Structure 1
Amino acid sequence: MTIPRFYHPGALTPGSETALPDNAAIHASKALRMQAGDEAILFNGDGQNYLSKITSIRKQEVRVDILEAQPCQTESPLKITLAQAISSGDRMDFTIQKAVEMGVSIIQPIASQRSIVKLAGDRAEKRREHWQNVAISACEQSGRAYIPSVAPAIGLPEWLAQKPEADAYITLAPDAPTALAQTSPPGNNICLLIGPEGGLTDHEIELAAQHGFALVRMGPRILRTETAALAAIASMQALWGDFTR
């Protein structure tokens, strides 16, 4: 039987006692109907799982003893930074959730010319916090103990001017001369740029190419923004990552 996993934002030390965060406590006591003596796994993003045992459940409070730290071997050998143009509705949530499940390391929301959603100020920060929580929930479900960071949204030209160091920079274009599967195996550090609904403009594609991005295609069909990101990450994991384990 799978032991339930819960995110705990604080320090976790074997031999100590702690209370589950409110949302985790409600899930454990109400949805999972856990009882004193049941085991749980906590994680806080430091790369380890913490085997714990519930000691008491009182109203909204669930307390646990932290028994031991356990290494977590769920990280991909690939460090993929996903620079994802902001999409509308629940598409962005879906993309972040599934990208985290498939092992992405960093998520950089991008404001592109065709992005329908425009974010600024407090609204942008609230949206970033929401996306970070989506990433945390995906880690909780998928067994990851490192939490990918969701960076503040930034315009494409500004991000390209300060893009992170990587072994390979890749973006997708349906008419690109080279297929992803034909690309020479890069190093482990990959930066993937994905456009919004409607795709990147010709100017943006040219700008990305000027900053070292190689254009590759994912088959003969045009993919939706959320499909493109996930198909590319899955293909990278199958070609160069840990999907063959």
Structure 2
Amino acid sequence: MPRFYCPVDLQPGAVLELPAGAARHAQVLRLQPGAVITLFNGQAQAPGVYGEYEATVTQMGRSNVQVRVGAFAAATREPARQVHLTLGVPANERMDWLVEKAAELGVATIQPLMTERSVLRLSGERADRKVAHWQSIAQAACEQCGGNRVPQIWPVQPFTAWLVQTGRAQHTGLLLSLRDGTQGLRGVSCGDEVTFVSGPEGGLSAQEEDAALAAGFAPVTLGPRVLRAETAALVALATMLV
């Protein structure tokens, strides 16, 4: 059954028009009146309880699609642990791929950072467009994988500004590091909520690592191999979430 992200208040019996993106998707699928679809809005019905609504297409227009919302069904497919991924943005299209796969794995939020070694430099309107693009990728990934909580992609920030704003971690804070003697991620007790910091190509600088450690983040490693920035972030997520 086709799934559509519909970020509005959904109530059984309500008749509404799908948002533009969802309407285009429905038209591409050539749905007809009477077709049954699934809607979700990413909102918890109770703490930790997410779900979706059955809906029926009532009208297909040139640019609009009208549906009648049906019954709500609780369907919590989200990981028990919340992981907030904070990372130096990798270059080219690698961030697109990372966002898609992180959403499929069940990441809670993603904070893109500009670091000393970042190859891709983003600011102003260009950064805003990128964030909107990544948010749409996360939404599409949740439509595909069955997730009912869409991860929030936060605005791009410089590493130093983010660290000052965050302050000492209020929950478990972990930092991916290649320093000698660093404990493996699998051996760390993470708790129910984790902020995980990972660098871009080349990793974080020594000064950035020192600042994160001083702010309360604990260094962890994924092993002796040197992984690409996007691979390392996803391996860490899979280790903590799956």
Work out whether the TM-score is over 0.5. yes
Tell me the residue number matched to 1:180: 185
**Root-mean-square deviation (Å):** 1.6
Distance 1:79 1:57 in 2: 38
Deviations 1:86-112 (A, max 9, x none): 121111111111111111111111110
1:40 to 16, 37, 42: 37
Tell me the residue number matched to 1:207: 211
* SS of match in other structure, 1:122: helix
1:20 paired to 2:18:
yes
Runs of 4+ in 1 over 3 A off after TM superposition: none
Deviations 1:173-194 (A, max 9, x none): 23442111122x2211101001
Distance 2:16 2:78 in 1: 26
1:168 to 172, 178, 191: 172
2:85 maps to amino acid: L
Distance 1:158 1:175 in 2: 24
Aligned residues: 234
Distance 1:211 1:22 in 2: 43
2:227 maps to amino acid: L
* Structure 2 portions without partners, runs of 5+: 44-49
1:29 to 27, 52, 56: 27
* SS of match in other structure, 1:212: coil
* SS of match in other structure, 1:98: helix
Tell me the residue number matched to 2:9: 11
Report matched runs for 1:110-189 at 5 Å: 110-163=113-166, 165-177=169-181, 178-183=183-188, 185-189=189-193
Report matched runs for 1:62-141 at 5 Å: 62-141=65-144
The alpha carbon displacement at 1:52 in A equals 0.3
Distance 1:22 1:129 in 2: 15
TM-score by length of 1: 0.90
The alpha carbon displacement at 1:24 in A equals 2.0
Change (3 A) 1:176 1:4: farther
The alpha carbon displacement at 1:166 in A equals 3.8
* SS of match in other structure, 1:60: coil
**Aligned partners of 1:176 and 1:215 also within 8 Å:** no
Tell me the residue number matched to 1:233: 237
**Aligned partners of 1:170 and 1:216 also within 8 Å:** yes
* SS of match in other structure, 2:34: coil
Identical residues among aligned pairs (%): 37
Change (3 A) 1:95 1:176: farther
2:184 maps to amino acid: A
* SS of match in other structure, 2:166: coil
